[in-house]
Amino acid sequence: MSTLADQTAFLLTCDRLRAVQRSTYLHDGGRSENSAEHSWHLALMALTLAEHAPAGTDVNRVIQLLLVHDLVEIYAGDLHFAVPDAAHARQAQAEEKGAHALYGLLPEGQRAEFHALHAEFDARWTPEARFARALDALQPMLLTWGEGGLGCVAREPELTATRLLILKAPALTAFPALWTLAQEVVQRAVESGTLPP
């Protein structure tokens, strides 16, 4: 196949990301978001919140990481952040297998580039990856409990404010403004009754 044909096959396969439903609902609570919407929203967050990244962070790189990191959900599906560690380990294996299948559609140079982006996001070894992970942790919180959010008590009755902050802290505490925002969102949700304390 030609380079363009390979790239087209990859892009058409990536369109399937729109069909991957997430556990997070849209802010209005009308339906669950899909992974393509999630990736778009994260890229927009990176542009909007760039000033809260560490000095010298390449925001274009952050956007690349955010647009690529969930593509493997085409094969592996989405996983709720609050599941046990064993489920996360199984998901990581499924995503790695999916990465080989999906990025294998690309011409060799791009294949390596997309694999590198995927690995960088997962390993968090750069400031860009850590900022991307922080945004990925914050986005579902904003949709679910941000100003006017409806919460998810009926869908996830065991999720409390304390547990939520414990789970989100590793990704967010290195970014003081984002961590403060997350804590404020949680506090307002507890006060409004959309999140158990």
Confidence of residue 133 (pLDDT cuts 50, 70, 90): very high
Give residues with Cβ within 8 angstroms of 184, minimum separation 6: none
- Rounded Cα distance, 117 and 139, in Å: 20
Q: Does 181 reside within a domain?
A: yes
User: Of the ranges 38-52, 85-99, 146-160, which one carries the lowest mean pLDDT score?
Assistant: 85-99
Q: Does 71 reside within a domain?
A: yes
* pLDDT given at position 174: 96
- Rounded Cα distance, 110 and 93, in Å: 22
Binning the chain into helix, strand and coil, the percentages to the nearest 5 are 65, 5, 30
- Rounded Cα distance, 131 and 53, in Å: 6
Q: Does 164 reside within a domain?
A: yes
pLDDT reading at 95 higher than 90: no
Residue 131 host element (H or E): helix 127-145
Q: Does 197 reside within a domain?
A: no
* pLDDT given at position 182: 98
pLDDT reading at 1 higher than 70: no
Q: How many domains does the chain have?
A: 1
Q: Does 45 reside within a domain?
A: yes
Q: Does 7 reside within a domain?
A: yes
Q: Does 67 reside within a domain?
A: yes
From 128, 108, 114, 121, select the one nearest 50 (Cα to Cα): 128
Which range of residues forms the domain containing residue 184? 3-192
pLDDT reading at 10 higher than 90: yes
pTM: 0.92
For residues 84-106, b (16+ Cβ closer than 10 Å) or e, as one string? eeeeeeebeebbeebbeebbebb
pLDDT reading at 187 higher than 60: yes
Query: What is the dihedral sign for C-alpha 151, 16, 83, 45?
Result: negative
| pLDDT digit string, tens, across residues 47-62 | 999 999 999 999 999 9
From 184, 165, 185, select the one nearest 173 (Cα to Cα): 165
* pLDDT given at position 13: 96
Amino acid at 30: G
Q: Does 156 reside within a domain?
A: yes
Q: Which domain CATH number covers 108?
A: 1.10.3210.10
Mean pLDDT of 139-154: 93
* pLDDT given at position 75: 87
| pLDDT digit string, tens, across residues 98-132 | 788 899 999 998 999 999 999 999 999 999 999 99
